[in-house]
Amino acid sequence: MGAAQRNYYGKALARLAKERDDVVVLDADLAGSTKTSEFKKVAPERFVEVGIAEQDMIGVASGLAASGKTVFASTFAVFATGRCWEQIRLAVAYPKQNVKIVSTHCGISVGEDGASHQALEDIAIMRAIPNMVVISPADAHQAYAATMAIAEERGPCYMRLGRADFPLIYPEDVKFEIGKADILREGSDVTLIGTGQMVSYCLDAAKALSEEGISAEVINISTIKPLDADAVIGSVKKTGCAVTAEEHSIIGGLGSAVAEAISESCPVPLVRVGTKDTFGESGKAEMLMEKYGLTAKDIVKAAKDSISKKR
């Protein structure tokens, strides 16, 4: 059973519209796709359609936040992190404004829209900005819970969501704690660390590995920044090697964050599963995930490679 994260983001916004008078939502001409339209149905007087003007959207968001509002600003990830980087850096992150930038249509599974719309660099871009929290939920239920959590947290936040249906991993009433990793499966031979929809592939890979007598621990890193380094280091100390899996470039994303943490505290073999310094292309989502090495089979192969490098 699967569900689209963006749909549950819309549901969470609709709930916030009823419960919080301080919440304002902005969109850049994509409300039907990002599902911010669900907020508009409940509180149209607190919804601002900025149009195709992403830089202006961030400026307006900053101003509203400075006046005491909790602001959600949404569009596709390539536009949210690319077109208005300077505005995010100087108008949101630098003054620590209470703005939540929530992007949809992340990763290569956007499919037929092609390279121009497949954000494979957004985590890296936002991770590098001081004061910015970076979140990538594992499924739709966690996306809902994360939306409610960041509404309570003051300060800048970036959250990336997918376009397509993802398998559901968590129960509907899951709680989300910013900066906390979840160990979804315990193991002793290798640590599989996933984010976003790749978490479900990590679980599939762990099951396949167990059939070959290999015990894999699975960790969901939904908050990439701040990283739960204690959970990562604690696991790799036990297993002695690791694999990271993300629907994002291996440069600057989850793989880089984990590599930085373990290299400083507990150096072990690490293999990163993600796109390899490349743009995507147009095609069916499943075919693209396979072509670019983002499947459970690729994680299984990476796990065996990581294990083989143990001292």
In contact, 194 and 169? CB cutoff 8 Å: no
Q: How many CB atoms lie within 10 A of CB 301?
A: 16
Structure tokens at 206: 């762990």
Helix, strand, or coil (residue 73): strand
Alpha carbon distance, N-terminus to C-terminus of the chain: 40
Q: Is the peptide bond before 95 cis (omega within 30 degrees of 0)?
A: no
Q: Is 59 exposed, middle or buried (0-12, 13-18, 19+ CB in 10 A)?
A: middle
Pairing of strands 2-4, 165-167: antiparallel
Phi, psi (degrees; rounded to nearest 5) at 101: -95, 110
In contact, 166 and 200? CB cutoff 8 Å: yes
- How is residue 239 annotated by DSSP? H
276 Cβ contact partners less than 8 Å away, ≥ 6 residues apart: 249, 250, 292, 293
Examine the residue annotation and report whether 54 is marked as an active-site residue of this protein. yes
Q: Is 40 exposed, middle or buried (0-12, 13-18, 19+ CB in 10 A)?
A: buried
Pairing of strands 157-160, 133-135: parallel
Task: Tell me the one-letter amino acid at 133.
Answer: V
Of 38, 45, 49, 54, the active-site residue reads 54
Alpha carbon separation from 167 to 138, 197, 199, 200, 243 (Å, rounded): 9, 8, 10, 7, 21
Q: Is 311 exposed, middle or buried (0-12, 13-18, 19+ CB in 10 A)?
A: exposed
Catalytic residues: 54
